Structure 1
Amino acid sequence: MTADLSQGSPAPQASDKLDARVLVVAGVVVLGAIMSILDITVVSVALRTFQQEFDATTAQVAWTMTGYTLALATVIPLTGWAADRFGTKRLYMLAIFLFTAGSVMCSTASSLELLVTYRVLQGLGGGMLMPLGMTILTRAAGPERVGRVMAVLGIPMLLGPIFGPILGGWLIDVASWHWIFLINLPIGIAALIYAAIVLPKDNVSPSESFDFVGMLLLSPGLALFLYGISSIPAAKQEHGTIWTPQVVLTSLVGLVLIAAFVPWALRKRNIHPLVELRLFADRHMTVAVITMALFAIAFFGASLLFTLYFQEVRGYSPVKSGWAVAPQGFGAMVTMPIAGVLADRMGPGKVVLTGLVLDTIGMAMLAFTDAHTPYSYFFVSFVIMGFGMGSTMMPVFSAALATLSDHNIARGSTLMNITQQVAASIGTALFSVLLTASFNRSDSITAVNELNKATGGSKDPNILAEAASKLGLDPTTLPQLFAKAIDDMGAAFANVYLIAAILVGLCIIPALFLPRSKAEKPVEAAAMMGH
């Protein structure tokens, strides 16, 4: 039985509870997910430190994030084929090794160029960890318990963005930036040993030929499209417009390559496409992809503004701002296990709808905040959103995978991870532009930004007064100017939160079509592919 766990039949369904065998497998998957997800937010805290360390601009150090993201986009489409060809255990251990090796190399980087290069290596491993983890867990538990195992995997996905800034800020404060990477070494070694012992031996059957044409179309297409999208905030800030060659050309070329992949993938031939678009023949998969795309754009995009508000408007440190949004994670921890059980028993539809209503309420509360709103109000909002998050994201994943045949689980998890990655990048760019545009409409914020540029961010009264005079500002009114800018920033954040609440609310429409009953018998590959 265990020999088939990685590649073959789902576990017997004598009980709908997660037995010890599944929980042991879940442990190694969660360990890998923690490394991958936590690393993204931990590094975001260190960007300012990288600027000082390598004497670089904001746009230059942003490549430490962009390079990692582009590596993810490149390797995720390959994961489904590689899992079928080499086996999930071998590939998962390779992904852990690449990620850990990349982390250690990042800690030794003596230049920004080397750091970006090593971050790409990290991303090649990190991009495979989540889709492989979903495949391993879903095969281990079977369709009847997919909601429960998705809830287990969802814990690091929700807690990473919250505790990443806290951990990153603390490591930089007490040690150095090198330790935000070195901390992955003991975790990676433990995960490798754990995986070698726990994950069953691969039983690989002959795989289809590799889709080289699909790889040449989709992987660079996704990378170019995400690069163009991720360049939007910088283009808006530096040039005042998003219509720059860096944004437009790379995004268009990426979209053309992705569009060309679609008819290629749908051709009937012996080569298995890099991403199986025929999975959209499963109505549940289609609805889940649409729901996930809208939700990732709205919620993940807006979530990046939470800690930014506390830092820019309330003057919190990165560590303190991380703790400020932590109630969201605690709320998710409460509802996620319950949501997993309910999704298995009654179908994910009702659970997701409840979660989206809570997400919308929590986000809408933020639309009524300002620069002086008591933190207790934010606390309530974040807890409500946490309750909603714990009932939303992973049940959507379980809805997508529950009715797929065992052969298609790896392909389905790959498709869902691509959707989430692309949609989250679009959401990040969208809300960054919305916030920047809202800032630019305020004369006080514009004046303060010009003042900060002129003084290099100095708070010295004499330097500020001299710079104000050169900019045509009255030095005696600077306290009022700064106060007005803070108030306007608070209002700008509230306006963007209102848009986020509307977009999250719109996710309810596709969620209405998610299954509201227990998972049906998995759709067999031959029937789904129309053969």
Structure 2
Amino acid sequence: MTRDPLAPAATASADVPRGPSPWATLLAVSVGSFMTILDVTVVNVAIHSLQQEYDASTSDVQWVVSGYALALGIATPLAGALGERFGMKRVYLLSLASFAAASLLCGLAPTLPLLIAARALQGLAGGFALPLGSARLFTTFPEDKRGLAFGVFGVVLVFAPTIGPLVGGAFVDAGLRSWIFFVNVPIGALGVFLGSRFIGADGPRTGDTRRIDLPGVALVCVGFGGLLLGASLLGSPTGSSAGVQAWVAFAVGAVALLVLVTVQLRSAHPLLDLRLYRVRTYAIGSTINALGQIPFFGTQFLLPLSMQVVLDVDAFDAGLALLPLALASGVSGVLAGQARDRWGPKVPLAVGFLLLAGGIVLLRDRAANPDPQSLIGPLLLAGAGAGAIPPTIQVTALGDIPRAAVGGGTALLQATQRVSQALGVAVLATILARSVTVSTGDHAYRAQYASGLSTAYSLALYAALVCAALALFLPGWPAAHEEAIPKRSDAGKASEPRTPSDS
């Protein structure tokens, strides 16, 4: 049995490892995570200006956002194997440094294709850092503090993407679009410094390290890449050959994913440990986590576009309008973590998605006139719901799996999350693109765009309601809630799902 590379060294009798304070580790991981998550949305308010600069459609420019998210998803499963082979702390710090370097390339990119390529490099680096940091937090805090810890960490998970448009808008309106990416360089340096000081050293590694599943990586790239390409091509003008190409891309992606599932289930050392879906809470939590990206992340993609295109609001004001969402999310994230510790995950998740759905309904009603002042109430409501989701879903999904599987479980959870973000953006961008049949100078352009926004919000609403319904199948109040996280001594029991570390 190989040692879990993402779990810090500890004695059998101690649940919390010795070394730096868990809260100092939380600080270090939060800075690095803030940088990588910020870049998921920081370019949202620049989409409109990128369309104008490169004379490109929404479905073309969305690759700047979805290409980054897709690269995050592809790289995430590799984090565990790389951490095991080279050491978790070393890989984490190198990933942060690489992310900062890729950010520099993004700022210097002279063309749209080069910018998309540099964003993909960013995503690859961020995809290694995120699961390693999250898994270390999970194994660093004691069971009775995890909800609170992930509630605080959830402030970063929610605040970073909601503050991203504000930061991006300030740079765009100042004529400093490249600084959307350059700003990551000092943040990355700070993350490397804090990580080197406050993340505990890796324990001794055994010689029996897990091999990197290169065929699995190839299938992930073809599978998810095909789906994303297909969704993007559907946004091409009606009647073009792109429609046929889109369905071909969908077919190739679907076949690759079917092969991937078959291969991974038969492998003793899978890239994605799909056996974890046998754990009920992990399966439900992962489904909610993936589907929930449409209302959670998609809303943040649609809002800046709606204000900039329909009302000609400048980039900074479009980002500033999202501030109520960020503030409400930060407060509800901490409260939801405490509620989860006390009553279980069912209530905070179900209520969170219902509040988010209510906010989306109000945003949809204002699609034709998204005045920033009228959006304050809907955004406070949506933010109160959105903030409860990330910290609750992470600790819930990981709670019932064996300790030795936490690293692989985190990687699988975040990989599907990032790919779902990419696919969600592509689908929403496609809805917008296909709703507009006239040129930007036509008097009907804004009305058609507003109609497309309303349809896109409807899709986000339905996804939020489905997630709220799924949350009711999770444990918690009104039934008695008991934490079911296996202790270290339980990790090798035969009754637990077989994982790469158990092979």
CA distance in 1, matches of 2:464, 2:132: 28
Of residues 466, 473, 487 in structure 2, which corresponds to 1:506? 466
8 Å CA contact 2:6–2:80 kept in 1: the answer is no
- Do the aligned partners of residues 87 and 505 (structure 1) sit closer, same or farther apart at CA in structure 2, a change above 3 Å counting? same
Partner of 2:135: 135
Tell me, what secondary structure is at the counterpart of 2:368?
Answer: coil
Compare the two structures and name the one with the higher helix fraction.
1
CA distance in 1, matches of 2:111, 2:451: 40
Partner of 1:38: 38
Q: Deviations over 1:30-86 (max 9, x none)?
A: 111111121232234445555677x56447655544543443233112112222333
- Do the aligned partners of residues 491 and 319 (structure 1) sit closer, same or farther apart at CA in structure 2, a change above 3 Å counting? same
Deviation, 1:506, is 1.6
Aligned length: 483
CA distance in 2, matches of 1:132, 1:52: 38
Q: Deviations over 1:159-217 (max 9, x none)?
A: 23322222122223335233222211111111111111111110143244314354344
Q: Deviations over 1:3-55 (max 9, x none)?
A: 996355699569xxxx99222111111111111121232234445555677x5
Partner of 2:283: 286
8 Å CA contact 2:311–2:370 kept in 1: the answer is no
**Identical positions, percent:** 27
- Do the aligned partners of residues 21 and 56 (structure 1) sit closer, same or farther apart at CA in structure 2, a change above 3 Å counting? same
Q: Does 1:351 align with 2:348?
A: yes
Equivalent AA in structure 1 for residue 484 of structure 2 = E
- Do the aligned partners of residues 244 and 143 (structure 1) sit closer, same or farther apart at CA in structure 2, a change above 3 Å counting? farther
Tell me, what secondary structure is at the counterpart of 1:521?
Answer: coil
- Do the aligned partners of residues 9 and 178 (structure 1) sit closer, same or farther apart at CA in structure 2, a change above 3 Å counting? farther
Partner of 1:167: 167
1:94-173 superposed matches below 5 A? 94-112=94-112, 114-173=114-173
1:464-475 superposed matches below 5 A? none
Partner of 1:528: 496
Of residues 392, 397, 402 in structure 2, which corresponds to 1:400? 397
Partner of 1:304: 301
8 Å CA contact 2:92–2:132 kept in 1: the answer is yes
| Segment of structure 1 superposing worse, 129-138 or 58-67 | 58-67
Indicate the structure whose relative CO is greater, using CA pairs within 8 Å and at least 6 residues apart: 2
Deviation, 1:124, is 1.6
CA distance in 1, matches of 2:201, 2:284: 34
- Do the aligned partners of residues 254 and 371 (structure 1) sit closer, same or farther apart at CA in structure 2, a change above 3 Å counting? closer
| Segment of structure 1 superposing worse, 69-78 or 193-202 | 69-78
1:196-211 superposed matches below 5 A? 196-206=196-206, 207-211=208-212
Q: Structure 2: where are the runs of 5+ without partners?
A: none
Partner of 2:8: 6
CA distance in 2, matches of 1:113, 1:368: 36
Q: Does 1:328 align with 2:335?
A: no
Tell me, what secondary structure is at the counterpart of 1:6?
Answer: coil
- Do the aligned partners of residues 186 and 267 (structure 1) sit closer, same or farther apart at CA in structure 2, a change above 3 Å counting? same
Of residues 450, 453, 457 in structure 2, which corresponds to 1:497? 457
- Do the aligned partners of residues 61 and 325 (structure 1) sit closer, same or farther apart at CA in structure 2, a change above 3 Å counting? closer
8 Å CA contact 2:48–2:309 kept in 1: the answer is no
Partner of 1:249: 248
CA distance in 2, matches of 1:374, 1:51: 22
8 Å CA contact 1:102–1:119 kept in 2: the answer is yes
Deviation, 1:227, is 3.6
- Do the aligned partners of residues 115 and 321 (structure 1) sit closer, same or farther apart at CA in structure 2, a change above 3 Å counting? closer
8 Å CA contact 1:226–1:422 kept in 2: the answer is no
CA distance in 1, matches of 2:112, 2:371: 40
- Do the aligned partners of residues 325 and 32 (structure 1) sit closer, same or farther apart at CA in structure 2, a change above 3 Å counting? same
- Do the aligned partners of residues 486 and 120 (structure 1) sit closer, same or farther apart at CA in structure 2, a change above 3 Å counting? closer
Give the aligned CA root-mean-square deviation in angstroms: 3.1
8 Å CA contact 1:159–1:329 kept in 2: the answer is yes
8 Å CA contact 2:291–2:463 kept in 1: the answer is yes
- Do the aligned partners of residues 161 and 233 (structure 1) sit closer, same or farther apart at CA in structure 2, a change above 3 Å counting? farther
8 Å CA contact 1:73–1:219 kept in 2: the answer is no
Deviation, 1:95, is 0.8
Q: Deviations over 1:205-255 (max 9, x none)?
A: 3244314354344432345235424523542x465686331x233332232
Equivalent AA in structure 1 for residue 352 of structure 2 = G
8 Å CA contact 2:66–2:425 kept in 1: the answer is no
8 Å CA contact 1:265–1:274 kept in 2: the answer is yes
- Do the aligned partners of residues 73 and 4 (structure 1) sit closer, same or farther apart at CA in structure 2, a change above 3 Å counting? closer
8 Å CA contact 1:368–1:494 kept in 2: the answer is yes
| Segment of structure 1 superposing worse, 299-308 or 219-228 | 219-228
Equivalent AA in structure 1 for residue 28 of structure 2 = V
Normalization by structure 1: what TM-score?
0.82
CA distance in 2, matches of 1:370, 1:292: 26
8 Å CA contact 1:229–1:425 kept in 2: the answer is no
8 Å CA contact 1:295–1:504 kept in 2: the answer is yes
Deviation, 1:408, is 1.0
8 Å CA contact 1:332–1:389 kept in 2: the answer is yes
8 Å CA contact 1:301–1:426 kept in 2: the answer is no
Deviation, 1:332, is 0.7
